[in-house]
């Protein structure tokens, strides 16, 4: 009996989810959306540093520009600061960030263009490259 109730509850949950998607109900939490093949422009920083600077977009972007190679040496979890918002990298992308920082000629302020897929709260990076001199408002 319990098994039948659990199966019925699961079926209702799946049906409700499919119905909500078919009705194009917007996701109220943009951090939980999926963006496939998108590009973001921002600053690579480690997770610990990001906790200290997120919030006010202007302040966060200024502080992110101060992030240096010396600060990144022992870190393993990275992400992107975009308009004061933190976007953490998935595990494979963390290694890409380490490789980018090590090979960069820049000593601090790793402003980059990141291409990848945002799924939930993790960004799966396909490429990281240095951003142009000026921020592009059409990206993000």
pLDDT band, very low/low/confident/very high, at 62 (cuts 50, 70, 90):
confident
* Choice between 14 and 123, residue whose per-residue pLDDT is larger: 123
Helix, strand, coil abundance in the chain, percent, nearest 5: 40, 30, 30
**Range of lowest pLDDT (21-30, 43-52, 68-77, 89-98):** 21-30
Residue 59 included in any domain:
yes
What 3-state class would DSSP assign to 22? helix
Handedness of CA 51, 53, 57, 61 (dihedral sign): negative
Nearest to 64 by CA among 76, 52, 77: 52
What is the b/e burial string over 71-97, where b = at least 16 CB atoms within 10 angstroms of the residue's CB? ebeebeebbbbbebbbbebbeebbebb
What is the b/e burial string over 1-20, where b = at least 16 CB atoms within 10 angstroms of the residue's CB? eeeeeeeeeeeeeeeeeeee
Residue 135 included in any domain:
no
Residue 58 included in any domain:
yes
Residue 136 included in any domain:
no
Residue 19 included in any domain:
no
Q: What is the pLDDT of residues 15-44, one digit of tens each?
A: 444 433 433 333 334 445 566 678 999 999
Residue 98 included in any domain:
yes
Residue 4 included in any domain:
no
Q: What is the pLDDT of residues 92-133, one digit of tens each?
A: 999 999 999 999 998 999 999 999 999 888 999 999 999 987
For 60, counting Cβ atoms within 10 Å of its Cβ (0-12 exposed, 13-18 middle, 19+ buried), the class is buried
Which range of residues forms the domain containing residue 48?
Answer: 28-130
* Cα–Cα distance measured from residue 24 to residue 86, given in angstroms and rounded to the nearest whole number: 27
Residue 140 included in any domain:
no
Q: How many domains does the chain have?
A: 1
């Amino acid at each position: 009996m319990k098994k039948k109730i659990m199966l019925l509850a699961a079926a209702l949950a799946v049906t409700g989810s499919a119905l909500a998607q078919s009705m194009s109900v917007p996701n109220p939490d943009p951090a939980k959306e999926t963006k496939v093949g998108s590009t973001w422009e921002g600053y690579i920083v480690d997770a610990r540093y990001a906790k200290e600077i997120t919030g006010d977009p202007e302040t966060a972007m200024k502080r992110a520009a101060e992030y240096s190679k010396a600060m990144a040496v022992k870190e393993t979890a990275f992400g992107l600061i975009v308009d004061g918002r933190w976007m953490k990298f998935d595990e494979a992308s963390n290694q890409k960030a380490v490789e980018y920082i090590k090979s960069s000629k820049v000593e601090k302020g790793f402003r980059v263009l990141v291409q990848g897929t945002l799924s939930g709260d993790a960004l799966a990076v396909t490429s990281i490259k240095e951003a142009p001199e000026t921020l592009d408002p059409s990206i993000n």
